[in-house]
A and B are shown apart, each in its own frame.
Chain A
Amino acid sequence: MEEKAIYSRPDSLTDRPMHYCPGCGHGTVHKLIAEVVDEMGIREKTIGIAPVGCAVLAYFYMRFDVMEAAHGRTPAVATGVKRVLPDKLVFSYQGDGDLAAIGMAETIHAANRGENISVVFINNAVYGMTGGQMAPTTLTGQKTATSPGGRLVETMGPPVKMCELLNTLDRPYHIERVALDGPAGVRKARKAIRTIFEAQRDGKGYGFVEVLSPCPTYQRCTPVESLKFVGNDMAATFPLGLFRRGGERIDA
């Protein structure tokens, strides 16, 4: 009997097995980006900017042009690429330390300029590559290598909410937060990434998707428990949904 694949590994993903820990959300989002690139037929126009962090090696898994950036400078590098290659699809892929700590200035200002780029923000509430230190998005009370007693608001501040922060700016076109808390969350994430990629293609401007993402290793749980951590604990601090659509703020 003839068979047809209704889902298969996207072409824009290389054949190389990824180095991430089992259950890590980076692989999921790499896959989603590759799927969207394939769906839109833009593999030969896509340029990815990889961060410093666990996803620094993202370029091994993406079958299109990719470059590295210094820690946190990804939006500035993306700006430098996009301004001279306006007809290409340029996205920056960043973790929470890269985007919301060391790279906060570049993040805010690229958004404020309304750069016609797409930013995919992986928020897993912890630094992965360096060994589970506190991130700007670590939850209040969450234990990490550098907040062994749990994140204390009095001395460490509360988690930084990037969608809300960026939503105060006038120029972003699309801001959305999704969570990889199950298959439905993954589909929403895919749709959100497609939305900002299409917005860029159509010259609409800056798109930002925050993906609450599992990091079983440093969220200190199993992959399955990690889905719950993302969907329950993280989503309680970082409300899911649309913040900006078509350049208009969405009322909460």
Chain B
Amino acid sequence: MGDRVLMTGNDAVGEGAVRAGCDAYYGYPITPQNELTAYMALHMPAKGRVFIQAESEVAAINMVFGTAAAGKRAMTSSSSPGISLKQEGISFLAGAELPAVIVNVQRGGPGLGNISPSQADYFQAVKGGGHGDYHQIVLAPDSVQEMHDLTILAFELADRYRTPVMVLTDGRLGQMMEPLVLSEGPAPAPPDKPWAINGAAGREPNLIRSLYLVEGELEQLNIRLQKKYARISESEKRWEERDTGDCDILLVAYGTSARIAKGAAAEARAAGIRAGVFRPVSLWPFPGERLRELASQARRILVVEMSAGQLIEDVRLSVGERVPVDLEGRMGGGIPSVSDVLARLRALDTEGR
């Protein structure tokens, strides 16, 4: 087993990236993810790897684009407004089929918003925040341990599918400290990348592009991408369930909200309400089939999220009319409390009887 340490979530992401064999990190200061950039500034050069504080988030994602094209593992991180700036680059990564890891430590929006934790970038992350028909894999940790583990997984999935992968987290998870067990041993070597541009020595020149002007070519690219997304959907859905076996009310939440939902569900159980929690870990692909199965046994669903109701749309798409779906949401950096959620559970429990 690896070392057990106490770390902030942001540092745990950084250490995960280092252990995953991240070759280059490019960042730009923005709260609440600054600890991560500082962690990389400290640890990447010490290991002979690349760290650049870029001139902007736009430059940072394009440095990632270059490093990914060169066949090396690259990561950038930011928080909501900075992630908005990276969307063009993410679309280019998707179009050019380049692997990369992007970490969004979400904060309140819209606009400059505030620096409180938020989950209001869900749509941007899972519906494709940039232009064009594309998806990125989105992983949502709910603990410092998962900040570490899912970052490592993000690098593996990015390489496996030649696609950008986002770790979608928030300022609370980024800045809280928890004990975690660090991954042990060297990460498995990245796959061969015969497509990389690294000098056409003894082979035909490689070309990395996302521009296809000849009629029909771009549609062919899109067809290939959609097939890839179908493969990812088949293989990479991840979720966690708690007390779903007999649950009457199913809470659905990810990340920080899931921690709150779990707390409220435990208290509800103690009060005799049969509550369970379904936590999507991959937000795209969304584990909708399992949720639909659970919806056939639960009487109600309560979605808890730190937004005006974004995750709830995917929940409704998954469960259809099988069961009523309600929202316990907070906006603009507000965080639902366990007692708020518990109160909703009590009300729904009474209402349904």
Contacts and interface: CB of A to CB of B under 8 A. Distances in A.
The reply, when asked whether chain A contacts chain B directly with Cβ atoms under 8 A, is: yes
Q: How big is chain A's contact interface, by range?
A: 35 or more
Contact of A65 (B54, B63, B206): B206
A67 interface: yes
A77 B65 contact: yes
Given A77-B65, A79-B52, A83-B24, A88 B199 contact: yes
A80 B67 contact: yes
Interface in A96-136: 105-106, 108-109, 113
A49 interface: yes
Contacts of A47: 70, 197-199
A64 B205 CA distance: 5
A6 B53 CA distance: 48
Q: Size class of B's contact patch?
A: 35 or more
Contacts of B210: 68
A76 B66 contact: yes
Interface stretch (B3-11, B88-96, B276-284): B88-96
A77 B55 CA distance: 13
Q: Interface on chain B toward A: helix, strand, loop, or mixed SS?
A: mixed
Contact of A68 (B54, B56, B96): B96
A76 B62 contact: yes
Contacts of B66: 49, 67, 69, 76-82
Nearest to A65: B197
B12 interface: no
A79 B25 CA distance: 12
A85 B55 contact: no
A72 to B, nearest CB: 9
B54 to A, nearest CB: 7
Interface in B54-81: 54-56, 58-60, 62-70, 72, 74
Interface string B189-206: 000000001111110011
Nearest to A71: B88
Nearest to B207: A59
Q: Report whether over half of chain A's contact residues are helix, strand or loop; otherwise say mixed.
A: helix
A81 B197 contact: yes
A252 to B, nearest CB: 29
A80 B208 contact: no
B254 to A, nearest CB: 30
Interface string B295-329: 00000000000000000000000000000000000
Interface in A22-76: 43-47, 49, 56-57, 59, 62-70, 73, 76
A70 B23 CA distance: 22
Interface string B165-191: 000000000000000000000000000
Nearest to A49: B66
24 contacts: A44-B202, A46-B199, A47-B198, A57-B213, A65-B200, A66-B197, A66-B205, A66-B207, A68-B96, A68-B208, A68-B209, A73-B58, A76-B54, A76-B59, A77-B62, A78-B66, A79-B52, A80-B62, A80-B67, A81-B69, A83-B52, A84-B24, A84-B67, A85-B70
